[in-house]
Amino acid sequence: SAVISQKPSRDICQRGTSLTIQCQVDSQVTMMFWYRQQPGQSLTLIATANQGSEATYESGFVIDKFPISRPNLTFSTLTVSNMSPEDSSIYLCSATPSGRSSGAQYFGPGTRLLVL
């Protein structure tokens, strides 16, 4: 398993600003992911954070809006850029310690974002 922490746990931001969310894993992992959970809905994958290369984004998500960094095997950041109220969500990072696509995913506690 893996223990995953996120910072900040919550934030209230003004429209047009940007917020960077940090995700730290207690062990080296090959695969890290970022999800969004909008109010009352389930999780949607934003992107796969690749160490040493550009993130792989899912349909509907773009790098300009959600730039992602993955400087090493234990850390990743997600930035929500030029925020609008529609970006109000819980943002979660996850990791697959086994490094296999068939391995279990473990999640951080999430970052609750409210955009005014």
Partner 1 sequence: KQEVTQIPAALSVPEGENLVLNCSFTDSAIYNLQWFRQDPGKGLTSLLLIQSSQREQTSGRLNASLDKSSGRSTLYIAASQPGDSATYLCAVFNQFYFGTGTSLTVIP
Task: Specify the stretch interacting with partner 1 by CB under 8 A; choose among 14-22, 67-75, 78-86, 100-108.
Answer: 100-108
Contact, 70 vs 47, CB < 8 A?
no
- Exposure b/e, 87-114, CB count within 10 A at least 16 = b: bbbbbbbbbbbeeeeeeeebbbebbebe
- 85: which strand partners? none
Which of residues 22, 24, 88, 105 is near partner 1 by CB under 8 A?
A: 105
Binding mask 38-77 for partner 1 (x = CB under 8 A): ---xxxxx--------------------------------
Task: Specify the stretch interacting with partner 1 by CB under 8 A; choose among 11-19, 63-71, 76-84, 107-115.
Answer: 107-115
Which of residues 92, 95, 113, 115 is near partner 1 by CB under 8 A?
A: 92
Give the DSSP H/E element, type plus range, for residue 46. strand 43-49
